[in-house]
Amino acid sequence: MSRNRGLKNKFPGIVTGASSGIGKGLACLLARKHKARLVINARNLEQLESTAAEVRSHGGECLIVQGDIAQEETRRKLIETCLGEFGGIDLLVNNAGFARPGRVTNLTTDVWRQVFEVNFFACLDAIYLALPQFSKQGYGKIVNISSVAGKVAFAGSVCYSASKFALTAMSNGMAAEFAPQNIDVITVCPGWVRTDFFEKNAVANAKNPTLIAKEISLRGLLMKHVLSISTENAVDEIEKALMKGGSREIIMTAPGKLAERLQGICPSLISAINRKIPVDYGETVAKDLAQTGR
């Protein structure tokens, strides 16, 4: 893979949090378009097996490493399996995520460490484990799934946002540092993505963007075309970025892009708005944005 080249056919790769949502959608898309050879991870074996079956039905190869990505043993096994079975690693997708919303005063430092272990340190460790192979073969691609909450923080989701801010900063810094080594880093900051996450986690129908987008109403149209993005569109954007080559940051959904721009141009306005938002709304936002799975 030369500089600025996209993905080659039958490339080997790793996708964490592949049991549902963006992780599952991306794994299936990469199999369909590139016949990818993938090692996938999550904690739920039944859902992983469903993803693996779909990947294979699309012409890809798929191996499962079940386990908690917060555990070093799981991360090491992912790398070793991909190298041992497929002979390399072209793509590392750090998609698994975890949220513990709530007021800062209601969270312990142990909870913060747990969230950071999944959302930040697991990604960092996986990258360190993959770097020797990337350096050896002279190329590599990393996709870090951050969040709009990693650009703008709200009361009630401070812990989750802090972990995603750290991931975003790490990704952007690595993109600059790894560029001479032909290692691309794609930083993805989704807003609301319409996935099966909401149904699986018993989110009330009135707050489920996937169901709201199906309504024949102004609210439904806004949710479908403005406020959220489908899983299919989200993974399409990621795959197109991978094919273009080079590192980049992708911010998804119109509200996410607007919030990010306002944060940069007029942070005092975002601060003023933030102070008006109820804490329980921020808690809901954190739950909704944490659509990736461990």
CA dist 203 and 195 (Å) reads: 12
DSSP annotation of 7 reads P
The span from the first CA to the last CA of the chain, in angstroms, equals 30
Kindly provide the residue ranges of all beta strands, DSSP E only, lying in 74-204, ordered along the sequence.
Answer: 91-94, 140-145, 183-189, 192-194
CA dist 27 and 40 (Å) reads: 8
Reading the block at residue 134, the tokens are: 């990337």
CA dist 66 and 48 (Å) reads: 8
CA dist 219 and 193 (Å) reads: 16
Residues catalogued as catalytic = 160
Find tokens 């072209």 and name the residue.
90
CA dist 234 and 246 (Å) reads: 19
In order, the DSSP letters of 219-252 are: HHHHIIIIIEEEHHHHHHHHHHHHHH-S-EEEE-
CB contact burial 207-229 (16+ within 10 A = b; e otherwise): ebbbbbbeeeeeeeeebbeebbb
Host H or E run for residue 194: strand 192-194
